């Protein structure tokens, strides 16, 4: 019995690493920065990582079976990687706990706001939250285009069965389509 649990645990770790890699790749897509004008800074990349991870966690947590467990393991993985990134930019152990607490508050606060807007089907509310968090309160046009992309992502992820996630697959829509859809 215990070896089976350990195998499952290792299997989940590999799966979570694969899902995390897909999220990182999505959060680094050039179109987010070039077409949707997400700031190409440490903070901007945090925002895109938070957004994509939150969307996947939201979809997973709504699935029957072990989707909720995978969502929690994915959150743990995201924060392990945040820890590594902060250490790589030179944050000391003394300041790390405070920074991680702020990142956690930002991560969960943003995803709560995005989730509430998506649940309400309120594109304006979603664009407002994105404008505040991603664009520093400026440029409603950029925020509206990003909101269209986020809505597309949420729809695509909501229709994915658990088997898709269990295979380590996550499909994010084309960034260019969202940008074109809002601008022309």
Which pLDDT band holds residue 180 (cuts at 50, 70, 90)? Answer: low
| Structure confidence by residue, pLDDT tens digits, 86-100 | 888 887 777 788 888
**Per the structure block, which two tokens stand in for 11?**
């299997």
Mean residue pLDDT across the chain: 88
Contacts of 33 (CB under 8 A, 6+ apart): 39, 40, 44
DSSP letters for 55-80: HHHHHHHTSSSSHHHHHHHHHHHHHH
Closest CA to 38 of 142, 166, 175, 148: 142
Give me the mean pLDDT over the 5-26 stretch: 78
| Structure confidence by residue, pLDDT tens digits, 117-160 | 999 999 999 999 999 999 998 777 889 999 999 999 999 999 99
H or E stretch at 179:
helix 175-183
Cα separation, 33 vs 29, whole angstroms: 8
Cα separation, 184 vs 180, whole angstroms: 5
Q: Is the pLDDT of residue 3 over 70?
A: no
Global pTM reads: 0.88
């Amino acid at each position: 019995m215990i070896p089976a649990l350990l195998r499952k645990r290792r299997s989940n770790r590999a799966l979570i690493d694969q899902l995390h890699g897909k999220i990182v790749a999505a959060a680094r897509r050039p179109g987010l920065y070039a077409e949707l004008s997400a700031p190409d800074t440490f903070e901007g990349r945090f925002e895109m990582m938070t957004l994509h991870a939150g969307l996947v966690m939201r979809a997973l947590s709504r699935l029957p079976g072990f989707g909720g467990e995978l969502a929690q393991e994915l959150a743990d993985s995201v924060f392990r990687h945040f820890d590594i990134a902060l250490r790589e930019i030179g944050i000391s152990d003394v300041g790390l706990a405070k920074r991680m607490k702020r990142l956690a508050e930002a991560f969960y606060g943003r995803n709560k706001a995005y989730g509430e807007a998506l649940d309400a089907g309120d594109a304006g509310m979603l664009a407002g939250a994105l404008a505040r968090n991603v664009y520093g309160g400026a440029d409603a046009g950029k925020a509206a285009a990003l909101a269209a992309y986020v809505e597309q992502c949420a729809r695509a992820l909501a229709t994915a069965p658990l088997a898709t996630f269990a295979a380590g697959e996550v499909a994010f829509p084309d960034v260019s389509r969202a940008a074109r859809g809002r601008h022309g």
